Structure 1
C-alpha cells in the first residue's frame, strides 16, 4: 500500500526476507533481542516522542520543502531483524537525484570511490543540501524513524540500519545484527559515529546484541542527546 501527497511519499507493506533467520537454529518471530519488554518500551517512547515533537517535525518539514526541490521524506531500503527489508524513513537531506550525482562523482574521483568502498560514506558528500547538513549534524533527519519504531521495523536502541550490500561486510557477525531490530540510536552513535573504523562499528553492533539489557538501553538513550548536540563524527 502506498500513500502519496505533495512533497512526500510513503510505501508500506514491503517485507521481503533476504537473509537467513536470525541466529542459527532460532525462531525469527521469538528470538529478537529484548523480546516483549523492549518492544513495549519502544512503542511507549516512540508514541510519546512523536506527540511531543510535532512542532519540531513540522518546522523541519517546512525547511526541507522550502530550501530544495524534492520530497520532504526519503525512504531507503534497509535490512531489519531476520533479514526483512523495510523502508527506513528520514527527512530528505540530499539533492533529489542523489544516486545519479553519487555515481558520477565516484566515477570521476578514485579517492572518493576508495573511501566509499571502505566506509559506505563520504566525509565531503556533495549530495547533501545546506539544511541537510544541519539536520545530519544533530541527527534531526532521523526523527521520522519513530514511525518505523511504531511499525515494529526498528527499535529506539539497536544496531545500525544497513543496506543489503553493506551487510556482507559484517562477515560471520551478520547473524548478530539480524538478531535485533535496527536502532535510531545505538552504541555506534554514542561512541563517535563516523570517527570510528568500520571494524569498530561491526564490533559495537555485536557487543550490543550479546550484552543487551534494559539498563544498557537506558544508558545509551541518556548518552544520545549530548552525543547528538556535540555533532561529533557527523557527516
Structure 2
C-alpha cells in the first residue's frame, strides 16, 4: 500500500514534515505538518522571529524547505520546477511593502499579475480587453476604481496595499498569501484591508493565509489561528479557543501581544 502523503478532498494545501534550516544552520521551521482548507481565512500569529514569514513563504516555495513534502490541489507534490511554476500561477502573494512600481498607475500595476498567464510572445503584444476589465473590476472591488490611472507613488500606504489586493485578485488565484499586510498601516486602513481579505475569502471561496503579529486583528478576522513560537506550531484552532495558556505558549512572558 502506498504510504506517501495524500491531499484530502477539502484541502487546498497540505504540509507533511516540512523543515527549514538556513545556510547559517539557523532552524527557522521545525518539523511541521498541517493542512489548509478551502474558503478559510487562516492567521499565522506570533512575535517577530517565530517563523510566521518562513512558514508562509514555504507555501509558494519562495523559501524552499530542507525536508518534507508540500501537496497542492491540482498539482500534487511540489517537487519539479514545472509543478512549482504551476502552483505559483495559482497562488497570489500580498507583501508588507506592497512591491508596486511607483511610477506606474494602479491599473498597470494590477495587470502585471497577468504576466504569469502569458507566453513570452503574447506578453509583448499587451493585455486583452477582458484582462483590463478584470483588473478594473478588481480595483472597483477594493474601492479604487477612480485611482486606476493614478501613479502608485502618490497613493497612501493603505491605498497601495489595496492595489496589491486588486493585483492578487486579477491573478485569478486558488490561494492568497499575505505577509504582514497591515504592519505599516494605521488602524482604519488595517481594518479595511482585513475586511477586504475576509470578504474575498468568504465570497469567492478562496483560502487566505495571513501572517500577523497583532492579536486583536487575528481574533477579529480569522476563522483559524495557527500560533508559532521558535519555529514550531504551538496552537492551532479557532479564535474563541485561544486561551491565556495558549497565548503564553505563543508569546511566553510577554504582556503585550497586540504589537
Fold shared per TM-score above 0.5: no
Higher percent of residues as helix: 1
Greater Cα radius of gyration, structure 1 or 2: 2
TM-score w.r.t. the length of structure 2 is 0.27
